[in-house]
Chain A
Amino acid sequence: MGRLKFFTPAIFFIAIAILLWRGLYLDPRTLPSMLIDKSMPAFKLSTVDGDPVSNSELPDQIFLLNVWGSYCLPCLVEHPTFMRLSEEGEIPVVGVNYKDQNELAHDWLETNGDPFAFSIEDLDGRFGIDLGVYGAPETYLVDAHGVIRYRHVSVLDETVWEEEFIPAITELRAESD
């Protein structure tokens, strides 16, 4: 008993040190999304090409929803990954052109290539607020029922794809079988 009492402060100290040490490696900029396991918010907008688009136009299979803008430099970094995914037909990618200008968005897609099935045009960022977006790039994984299952904030490169998205997608596909 006496011995236990003697070591209590040390144990207490070590426990708190471990807790704080782990805290140092958390990224405070990555906020948890409130929309996980919730349906995609309802929207009635148009695409960057000018066609009307709403929830019923979304793919009826697992897809990615990528928030991008022509002003967004990190979007260029993750662009090759989306190009590869769409070229290889691995998963459909829907874009959200967030707070951009139509002409600039068109130019950007022309210069860099268009990996998106279509891009929802969110000029004033109102749809972004419903999604809980706080800055491009962000990528959502949506299941076949239109329910948001995962969100990644900032660049989605090949490493993130392999470490975060492939396991999440595998799990989703297993679930629907």
Chain B
Amino acid sequence: MAAKFKTCFIVTLLFLLLIPTKNLFAQVDTFEFDNEVQQRRFRTLSDELRCPMCQNTNLSGSTGGVAEDLRREIHRMIIEGMSDREIEQFMFERYGDFIFYRPRLRTETILLWFGPLIFLLIGGTVGWSIFRRAKEVSETEITLDDNQKARLDELVGE
């Protein structure tokens, strides 16, 4: 009983590890905002934009020099009253699609967005046709003439 409890406990702990922790690593900046909405927008933007230098980190989690500068720019633009859309455009003009964790839907990114769906469709079609054929075969009644019966008995060894 105790052993079972222990296993349960360890499994629970392992599952806890799966909880995303991105904000635990956020860098602490001393930016001041006019209101809470601005602050929230800043947090969302720097969570959703990617650091071009340290690649697999967002701007809010990166200690890289350029991430620091880009956070400062986001702060400046928010204070100056630019919209999220305009700030994203500013980043796009300088760093391209790479800066977005969710790239924009453009001709260059269509495959990125719909590639998985295309593969799912191909896999699904192939899977479905195999399934259908297997069903067809198993549902067809097989009638054997005497010769075939004799041959079958011979093969099966009865």
Contact = CB atoms under 8 A, between A and B. Distances in A.
Interface string A16-53: 00000000000011011111000000000000000000
Nearest to A9: B126
A53 to B, nearest CB: 20
B96 A129 contact: no
Given A32-B96, A35-B94, A126-B73, 4 more contacts: A124-B69, A125-B69, A129-B70, A134-B53
A83 B28 CA distance: 41
Interface string A124-138: 111011111111000
B64 interface: yes
Nearest to A28: B55
Contact of A135 (B65, B93, B94, B98): B65
Interface of A: 28-29, 31-35, 99, 124-126, 128-135
B71 to A, nearest CB: 11
Contacts of B96: 31-34, 132
Contacts of B94: 34-35, 129-132
Given A29-B55, A31-B52, A129-B70, A99 B95 contact: no
Contacts of A32: 96
Most chain A beta carbons < 10 A, residue from B64, B92, B96: B96
Contacts of A132: 94-96
Contacts of A128: 66, 69
Nearest to B76: A126
B20 to A, nearest CB: 23
Nearest to B56: A28
